[in-house]
Copies of this chain bind each other. A is one copy, B any other.
Amino acid sequence: MTAIPPIEPPARLLMGPGPISAYPSVLRAMSSTLVGQYDPFMTQAMNETQELYRQVWSTANDATMLIDGTSRAGIEAALVSLIRPGDRVLVPVFGRFGHLLAEIAERALAEVHTIEVPWGQVVPVSQIEEAVVRVKPTLLALVQGDTSTTMNQPLDEVGAICAKHGVLFYADATASIAGNEFLADEWGLDAATAGLQKCLGGPSGSAPITLSERAVQVIRSRTRVEAGIREAGDESASDFIRSNYFDLGMILDYWGSRRLNHHTEATSMLYAARECAAVLLREGLDNAIERHRVAGAAMLAGVQALGLEVFGDVAHKMNNVVAVVIPDTVPGDAARADLLDDFGIEIGTSFGPLHGKVWRIGTMGYNARKDTVLTTLAALEAVLRRHGASVPVGGGVEAAADVFRASALPLGSAS
């Protein structure tokens, strides 16, 4: 026999680029008792969750559900189900996660074309249209918010371009959804995916997805029903999707009225995803986005008032994360370790060209609050001073507090 104590995580205030601290009610939901996968309560909870996420996505898409996996699982499910081998796919890249979309499309044997802008910028819509005309892709895959650079790619004019040129339009909204505007129907999205661990305020492990009718038609044309549960009348396409787990047709049949068994739904993650959306919609989607806007503006004002330089095109940054250039004289990792060890506060560094060059500070979901912003700035000021930086005394905290004072939001915490 082995004595293994129960898990007892340390108290942490997660102010990085995600995952962030979950809403308490989401953690409570996860400890709810399990039910069977065809229990009327379970299928009702699945239906409710679909309806809640239609509101989160601002869509009327019937095909709105969860993929059982992390946000990357949602991306792969969308891409592998929509891309036929040899299809041309266009990926505008403005950070790490654009590279990821390209990589996943390459694994799906697409002919991938990328256009790139320097990290810290977004892609001008004119460049996207030019590339669509030149490449003639089947699918355009675009990140909305790329946490590696903090940029928020405008999507509102892209759908019309895709519609005009007969291109499927997919967006990865993992980092942005619920903290920034995302209008799936109004912007003409055919597919969009996300994760819970950013502004939705839940744990990683469930990926909300929504699909237009046009996307569903593409997927349905590639249907393959597995032998073990195939019935008369079930037809299989030769051009089948090269994944069973990510075959969105089968996943639709599981979530739909047919309830055809595919995977066994991850019940606790479903409870979490449902509660993430419920928290958001209890607050009101617009209110939540405004809360993220104010918290993000306060954090931005705070770090600037500490004399720190902000990376990238601030006019296009997401509400929920800011990239701060690490001062030359300050050892970035040691300062982050001090924040974690002495204050229990986590902030992040970044990837690739920005690794070790910037800190990324998030204000997401449950942690998009006045107290978390001010606490983080006070701790950051102390740590910067410890490492010899010259910083204005109290300036970061007060500059951020001023933003909260000027906002119409109550100064208290999130619901």
Contacts and interface: CB of A to CB of B under 8 A. Distances in A.
A232 interface: no
A31 B34 contact: no
A128 to B, nearest CB: 20
Interface stretch (A155-163, A239-247, A375-383, A389-397): A239-247
Contact of A2 (B21, B76, B103, B281): B281
A408 interface: no
A290 interface: no
Interface in A1-45: 1-4, 6-12, 14, 16, 18-22, 25, 27-37, 39, 41, 45
Contacts of A10: 35, 39, 41
Contact of A18 (B108, B247, B264): B264
Contacts of A29: 6-7
Interface string A106-150: 011100000000000000000000000000000000000000100
Nearest to A231: B352
A243 B99 CA distance: 15
Contact of A25 (B6, B35, B246): B6
- Which of A226, A262, A266 has the most chain B CB atoms inside 10 A of its CB? A266
Most buried by B among A33, A48, A109: A33
B25 A73 contact: no
A263 B32 contact: no
A245 B72 contact: yes
A197 interface: yes
Interface residues on A, range: 35 or more
A282 B39 CA distance: 31
A352 B119 CA distance: 53
A410 to B, nearest CB: 15
A406 interface: no
Interface stretch (A63-71, A300-308, A319-327): A63-71
Copies in the complex: 2
Contacts of A261: 351
B70 A264 contact: yes
A35 B41 CA distance: 31
B32 A7 contact: yes
Q: Which of A22, A32, A69, A98 gathers the greatest number of chain B CB atoms within 10 Å?
A: A69
B70 A228 contact: no
Contact of A34 (B22, B39, B263): B22
Given A7-B275, A52-B4, A107-B240, A69 B195 contact: no
A32 B52 CA distance: 25
Contacts of A57: none
Interface string A305-344: 0000000000000000000000000000000000010000
Counting from the closest, the 6 A-B pairs by CB-CB distance are: A205-B266, A99-B228, A4-B278, A96-B228, A31-B31, A203-B268
17 contacts: A3-B282, A7-B32, A7-B275, A9-B41, A19-B34, A20-B34, A27-B31, A30-B31, A69-B69, A69-B263, A70-B245, A70-B263, A70-B266, A96-B228, A107-B243, A107-B247, A204-B264
Given A31-B31, A69-B245, A70-B263, 19 more contacts: A1-B281, A1-B284, A4-B52, A4-B277, A7-B32, A12-B33, A27-B32, A27-B268, A30-B30, A39-B340, A70-B265, A73-B73, A73-B245, A100-B226, A103-B244, A107-B241, A107-B244, A203-B267, A204-B263
